[in-house]
Amino acid sequence: MDKYVYSGKHWSELKFYDHMMTDALIKHILGLSRYGMSDAGEVFEVMGQMKSADERDWALAWGGMAERLKRNAARSESRGKKVSASSAYLRAASYYRFALASFSDVNDPVMEEYTRESISCYRKYLGLSGYPGEAIEIPYENTVLSGYFYRSPAAGEKAPLIILTPGRDTLGEDTVWVYDEALKRGIHCIVVEGPGQGAALRLKKIPFRKDWEKVVSPIVDYAAMIPGVDMDRIALMGISFGGYLVPRAAAFEKRIKLCIANPGNISWGKSIGGALEMAQKMPKALRPSMVDGLVRDYAWKHGVENSIDAVIRELKKYDNSDILDKLTCRTLVMDASADINPGEAKKFYDAINCPKEYMLFDDETMGQTHTQMGCYASASERLFDWIEDNL
């Protein structure tokens, strides 16, 4: 039989929306159906109900589906139908969360409302389903950071731990393709939304900070108090913007055995700030429509004035060039052939001198989109084959 030859488009080339961020989020949301966090019919229904690609229309469409499912879940729960209730609560939590993934109006009441509803529904899901996750609070400066500890039912008396740092736009529960797969393999997980992320940003107004070791070290301290965690086998993984943040943390926090950057990036500020500088030189009438929204989103998440100049100045601080030689633990750099910043992960890989490996996802191996959005099965299989060999 002749070997099959690809002749059409690869899935990563198919577009739901012209807006890059919105299109990526839809693929991410569909990808999470593998874990019961979405259902294809519900996703397409929301897309059909959107009046426009405006971020508030996006938020209200997802929020409407979340409300419907929350009512269904409560009805099932009142009748003692725990399986149905937990399933609906999980998807409701997801849709509230997705509503905020592309929404940056900090003064709109849905920001806080949907954040709290997502947390509430997710915790009801955990309570009803028996999924091995529990809410935790990490002492952090003069407050606490919220997160979850997931204990693997397959773990031995002492088991390794993965600490997960999400990105700028998705929230902690979106890392399910990592923590769920870890649990199956006898590995515990901690997922924490740090400054600039999730509830820390939306409820406590804590913006991002560049010295991410100040966030990770308290998490490692907390892990040391959890029974069954092998403190000699701790991995730190960052996804999207988290992939930029975690190498710096691992450079200073020497209790980390493995660092996984998905994708790697020497200078996030140069990558994004450079694009904004190019847009700044263009006449305002000719700038891409997404620029103003991007500036507003970065200003909010980084705690600076809503202006392109202020955002560019702040982003220049996000540069790991001066700590690359301090990264000594074994490091995996993940990359994707259709990434939004092509070539940056390979530059990071080439620049570090610690024990290292490079993992490229392309059209052949699948997962070729940024952080493998929408293709989490093949991504988690390759990732965890490597983790099991090294942790």
Mean pLDDT, all residues of the chain: 93
Are the beta carbons of 303 and 34 closer than 8 angstroms?
no
* Model pLDDT for residues 329-354, shown as the tens digit of each residue: 999 999 999 888 889 999 999 999 99
The confidence band for 201, taking pLDDT boundaries of 50, 70 and 90, is very high
Average pLDDT of 297-311?
Answer: 94
User: 18-131 belongs to which homologous superfamily?
Assistant: acylaminoacyl peptidase (1.20.1440.110)
pLDDT greater than 90 at residue 111: yes
Query: What count of residues does the chain have?
Result: 391
pLDDT band at 3 (very low <50, low <70, confident <90, very high): low
Judged by average pLDDT, the poorest of 14-23, 223-232, 367-376 is 14-23
What CATH architecture applies to the domain 134-266+320-391?
Answer: 3-Layer(aba) Sandwich (3.40)
Annotated domain spans of the chain:
18-131, 134-266+320-391, 272-311
User: How far, in Å, are 76, 156, 248, 253, 264 from residue 225 at the CA level?
Assistant: 37, 17, 24, 17, 30
Tens of pLDDT, residues 232-284: 999 999 999 999 999 999 999 999 999 999 999 999 888 888 888 888 888 87
Local structure of 51: helix, strand or coil: coil
Joined together, the tokens standing for residue 141 give 């400066």
Indicate if the pLDDT at residue 7 is higher than 80.
no
Residue 6 or residue 340, greater confidence: 340
Q: What is residue 328's three-state secondary structure?
A: coil
Tell me the mean pLDDT in the region 90-117: 94
Mean pLDDT to the nearest integer, 21-47: 94
pLDDT of residue 1: 44
Average pLDDT over residues 320-331: 97
Q: Cβ(290)–Cβ(19) under 8 Å?
A: yes
Cα(130)–Cα(273) distance, integer angstroms: 44
